């Protein structure tokens, strides 16, 4: 009797593990983490979606690699020319250290991904200043979607982002849903309105400079 009960429990455990893996495979392309990085390095992927923690997406078996270590991703993105859209949301973006988020946005906004036209970000706190630089340096950006974000910054940061959205040379679609400012005195309606005005000349202060050269990246570890 005990043997049958044990077999039943093992079968239930296997089914549960399979269901979890199927859910992970639906969240991110490839299922297995290493093929995803290989696809990025070999320019075999056009639309990159990551929704799970870094340790579940990338190889975390190397000694000293933390669960929020995005160095493997940054290194892979540094040589990619095929990705046209990125979607970072869920646990992936939320569980990153703030400095790691900044480094990630800096990577996709100018120093990497020359073919990038679409950016989708959600489910995390983000500094408005980082978003501003991301949009300003993505000269070929056509679509920007923000959802379920806590936008951190002062009036001057939001004002700068409004100007960038309003004067961006190629942005055609801007959507912001379920986002909140960290400062309750900030009116996000002005930001939404700025996203609807996209036919003015670009701002020289943001677009009058050459594209930054590719650089190497270092991971930022989460402090206790």
pLDDT digits (tens, 9 = 90+) for 148-199: 999 999 999 999 999 999 999 999 999 999 999 999 999 999 999 998 775 4
Distance of CA 44 to the CA centre of its chain: 19
Alpha-carbon distance 121 to 141, whole Å?
Answer: 14
Report pLDDT for 16: 46
**3-class secondary-structure state, position 50:** strand
E strand or H helix at 118: strand 118-127
**3-class secondary-structure state, position 39:** helix
Q: What is the pTM of this model?
A: 0.72
Report pLDDT for 14: 57
**Average pLDDT of the chain, as a whole number:** 79
Q: What is the DSSP letter of 221?
A: P
pLDDT of 104 strictly over 70: yes
Q: Of 17-31, 46-60, 197-211, give the lowest mean pLDDT range.
A: 17-31
Residues linked to residue 87 through DSSP beta bridges, in sequence order: 49, 120
Could you state, in order of their start, the residue ranges of all structural domains in the chain?
47-52+85-197
Q: Give the Å distances, CA to CA, from 6 to 9, 19, 102, 205.
A: 5, 20, 48, 68
Alpha-carbon distance 149 to 181, whole Å?
Answer: 8
- SS3 for the chain is CHHHHHHHHHHHHHHHHHHHHHHHHHHCCCCCHHHHHHHHHCCCCCEEEECCCHHHHCCCCCCCCCCCCCHHHHHHHCCCCCCCEEEECHHHHHCCCHHHHHHHHHHHHHHCCCCCCEEEEEEEEEEHHHHHHHHHHCCCCCEEEEEEEEEECCHHHHHHHHHHHHHCCCCCEEEEECCEECCCCCCHHHHHHHHCCCCCCCCHHHHCCCCCCCCCCCCCCCCC
Q: What is the DSSP letter of 85?
A: E
Question: Which tens digit of pLDDT belongs to each residue from 133-160?
Answer: 999 999 899 999 999 999 999 999 999 9
Residue from 126, 109, 127 nearest 118 by CA: 109
Distance of CA 17 to the CA centre of its chain: 27
């Amino acid at each position: 009797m005990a043997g049958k009960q044990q077999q039943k429990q093992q079968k239930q455990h296997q089914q549960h593990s399979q269901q979890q893996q199927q859910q992970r495979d639906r969240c991110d392309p490839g299922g297995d983490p290493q093929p995803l990085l290989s696809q990025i390095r070999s320019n075999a992927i056009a639309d990159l979606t990551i929704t799970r923690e870094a340790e579940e997406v990338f190889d975390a078996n190397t000694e000293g690699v933390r669960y929020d270590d995005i160095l493997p991703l940054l290194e892979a993105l540094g040589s990619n020319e095929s990705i046209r859209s990125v979607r970072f949301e869920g646990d992936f973006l939320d569980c990153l250290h703030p400095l790691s988020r900044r480094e990630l946005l800096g990577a996709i906004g100018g120093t990497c991904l020359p073919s990038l036209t679409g950016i989708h970000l959600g489910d995390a706190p983000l500094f408005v200043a980082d978003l501003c630089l991301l949009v300003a340096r993505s000269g070929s950006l056509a679509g920007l979607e923000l959802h379920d974000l806590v936008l951190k910054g002062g009036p001057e940061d939001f004002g700068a982002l409004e100007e960038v959205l309003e004067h961006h040379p190629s942005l055609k679609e801007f959507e912001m849903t379920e986002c909140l400012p960290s400062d309750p005195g900030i009116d996000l309606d002005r930001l939404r309105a700025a996203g609807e005005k996209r036919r003015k000349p670009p701002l020289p202060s943001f677009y009058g400079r050459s594209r930054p050269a590719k650089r190497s990246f270092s991971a930022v570890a989460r402090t206790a």
